[in-house]
Amino acid sequence: MTDYLHIQLPPDQIRGISSIGLAHMGDAVYELLVRTWLCAHGKATGKGLDRATVALVCAPKQAELAQRILPLLTEEEQAVFRRGRNANVHSIPAHASRAQYQQATALEALLGWLHLSGRHDRVEQLFAVMMEEE
């Protein structure tokens, strides 16, 4: 049975996943981390949990948090980030600029790539840096 929570796909298989596919995966990884962080830190309860989650997962906030980790990325991670940033997205939410949406997509692609690579320790490390000042 495959352990999808702790998956580790071979590099060739990950390279075959589109930037949008990696961002799709990373979006879920990021939201799970945010929800876990909020619950673990008692930041919100009840209806406030949803508002707090939305505030942290929106594109402008993701773009802001991405800036915190950019200096820490390896060359390989930077390449994945650029690939995600350059993804051909067709619609941008009204509450975000194109640049913010590109940065958010890049962050999500990086997190998706790390997750699918089995680099859960690195995901946790980068997420901790993103959340230091929150």
* DSSP-derived secondary structure for the chain: ---GGG----HHHHHTS-HHHHHHHHHHHHHHHHHHHHHHTT---THHHHHHHHHHHSHHHHHHHHHHHGGG--HHHHHHHHHHHT---S---TTS-HHHHHHHHHHHHHHHHHHHTT-HHHHHHHHHHHTTT-
Average pLDDT score over residue span 92-118: 94
CA-wise closest residue to 89 among 11, 31, 16, 22: 22
Predicted confidence at residue 92, as pLDDT, reads: 82
- Which of 3, 12, 27, 50 is catalytic? The answer is 27
107 or 45, which is more confident: 107
Q: What would the pLDDT profile of 1-48 be if each residue is shown by its tens digit?
A: 889 989 999 999 999 999 999 999 999 999 999 999 999 988 767 778
Least-confidence region, from 41-45, 92-96, 123-127: 41-45
| CA–CA separation, 49 and 115 (whole Å) | 24
Predicted confidence at residue 69, as pLDDT, reads: 98
Predicted confidence at residue 45, as pLDDT, reads: 74
Q: What would the pLDDT profile of 50-90 be if each residue is shown by its tens digit?
A: 899 999 999 999 999 999 999 999 999 999 999 999 998 77
Active site residue 27: yes
94 or 99, which is more confident: 99
Predicted confidence at residue 95, as pLDDT, reads: 87
